[in-house]
Structure 1
Amino acid sequence: MSVQLLLIFDFIGTVAFAISGAITGIHKKMDILGVNILAIVTACGGGLMRDIVMGNFPPQMFVNPFYVLVAAIVANIVFLIMYFHKSVPLKYSGVYDRGLFIFDTLGLAAFMVDGVMIGVNFGYEDDLFLLTFLGFLTGVGGGVLRDILSVQMPAIFVKHVYALPVIIGGIIMVMLHEIMNTWDTAMVCSFAFVIILRAMARHFRWNLPKVKF
């Protein structure tokens, strides 16, 4: 079951981050090519960085471009919807921010699971630090690249404990597997944890400490 479940999480993460990247590109007034590139980078960038760390060459997005195609299709759908409904962002304040938060959260949670499982499939099931790092990198990597390309401070450094739930979620996922000896339950529970913690952070306005001048 783990393989099928992992494919589901892969698809959820790709679609969610592609929407996130497309929304950001449209908000930054990019043309349709820019929106497509940003969506693909957001959806596939974390996996690309993970594969480089793992020495998996060429990275999977170039060997099997299925998820690149999915990201491009999603980006064009979002672009066309926004193109023919230009008044939506103007009529409803906060649509951009809420949409970005929702799809970022889904992408973070799904790709955190994906990153941990890639490490497991490479034979590092007992390396808690590496598995957690791979989940972290896969989860946040695409969003960081998206923010850099759209010339804004990466959300990982400033918003709603962006990265912390991914780190904790990765640890929980590995620990649950140790306790219950099943990856399926560990994957679902850690996925839900990341979403719940990010939702609570947004609702209660939790942020990590900063130095204020």
Structure 2
Amino acid sequence: MLLLKVFEIIGTIAFAISGALVGMQKKLDLFGVTFLGIITAVGGGIFRDIILGNTPPTAFVKPNYCFISIITSISIFYLYPRIARKHKKYTNKNVDQLEVINKYTNMTKDQVLRLINKQNQMITLKRIILISDAIGLATFTAVGSNLAFYNVKSNLFLVVCMGLVTGVGGGILRDTFVQDTPLIFRKEIYAVASIIGGISFYVCKVNKLNYMIAFYLCFTLTFVSRMIAMKLNLNLPKFNSDKYKIRL
């Protein structure tokens, strides 16, 4: 299916961008950045194929996705710094207008400007990482749900789980390698967005709707749910040991 290939390529590029930018944020070298880009892009698919018994995994049988990840990661490594330098920068006039100089009484205007511009670049970097990660999550949720459905059509749990594993597996590996808590465990609504998308895909296919409708609906619901959660900072409840004075 052409649509499936398109979704796989889009997801691969999006996750490779996400992984590469995280590597750059952690100040890794070119190999580290490229490795994170690859593992983020194909990690979820490898998990899915192993669980479904499709061995060796597609990422090794058809290395096209690894090559796409490598090209994307290297491109980001060299292009992103140039793009970041063109990002809107604050000037002395902006500092006076924003009256931020009072917050840094022991700093000169030039020091304040450098600090503000660096903070803005970091905010932009994090935003790009989260958006590209959301695109990858949505596309691979649809891809994983589709492959699971054609393996066991009547199993809703399997379809949803494979969509989830495909969508979040690469991100978990990425964050684990750089010693961060994976996004799925700490950031807004993440896994829930993938689950919503997987359920919508299953419902569409069970009711014999066109596969294009199933793909687009799954992608849209997953992506929109994730973006709304990011925008509104929606989170599942977290346990606060300090609140109850419990030492864990």
**How does the TM-score come out when normalised to structure 2?**
0.81
User: Larger Cα Rg: Structure 1 or Structure 2?
Assistant: 2
Corresponding position of 1:16: 14
Q: Which amino acid aligns with 1:101?
A: L
* Whole-angstrom distance in 1 between the partners of 2:36 and 2:176: 10
Q: 1:19 to 1:114 in 2, by over 3 A?
A: same
Corresponding position of 2:26: 28
Aligned partners of 2:4 and 2:143 also within 8 Å? yes
> Quick check: 82-91 or 183-192, which moved more?
82-91
**How does the TM-score come out when normalised to structure 1?**
0.94
Q: Which amino acid aligns with 1:111?
A: F
- Of 103, 109, 116 in structure 1, the residue corresponding to residue 138 of structure 2 is 109
Per the TM alignment, residue 204 of structure 1 is displaced from its structure 2 partner at its CA by 1.1
Corresponding position of 1:43: 41
- Of 157, 180, 183 in structure 1, the residue corresponding to residue 211 of structure 2 is 183
Deviations 1:50-98 (A, max 9, x none): 1110111111111110000000000000001135566468353411210
Deviations 1:98-134 (A, max 9, x none): 0111001000000001101111333x11111111110
Per the TM alignment, residue 210 of structure 1 is displaced from its structure 2 partner at its CA by 0.5
Q: How much identity, in percent, do the aligned residues show?
A: 38
Matched, 1:98 2:96: no
Corresponding position of 2:167: 139
Q: Give runs of aligned pairs for residues 50-69 of structure 1, distance below 5 A.
A: 50-69=48-67
Partner SS for 2:207:
helix
Partner SS for 1:94:
helix
Per the TM alignment, residue 205 of structure 1 is displaced from its structure 2 partner at its CA by 1.1
Q: Which amino acid aligns with 1:115?
A: G
Structure 2: stretches of 5+ with no match in the other structure: 88-116, 243-248
Q: 1:5 to 1:92 in 2, by over 3 A?
A: same
Aligned partners of 2:156 and 2:202 also within 8 Å? yes
Corresponding position of 1:152: 180
Per the TM alignment, residue 180 of structure 1 is displaced from its structure 2 partner at its CA by 4.7
Q: Which amino acid aligns with 2:150?
A: N
Per the TM alignment, residue 184 of structure 1 is displaced from its structure 2 partner at its CA by 1.4
Q: Which amino acid aligns with 1:116?
A: S
Corresponding position of 1:82: 80
Corresponding position of 1:121: 150
Per the TM alignment, residue 166 of structure 1 is displaced from its structure 2 partner at its CA by 0.1
Partner SS for 2:17:
helix
Corresponding position of 1:70: 68
* Whole-angstrom distance in 1 between the partners of 2:122 and 2:16: 22
Q: Which amino acid aligns with 1:61?
A: A
Q: CA RMSD in A?
A: 1.5
Structure 1: stretches of 5+ with no match in the other structure: none
* Whole-angstrom distance in 1 between the partners of 2:14 and 2:185: 20
Q: Which amino acid aligns with 1:148?
A: T
> Quick check: 147-156 or 83-92, which moved more?
83-92
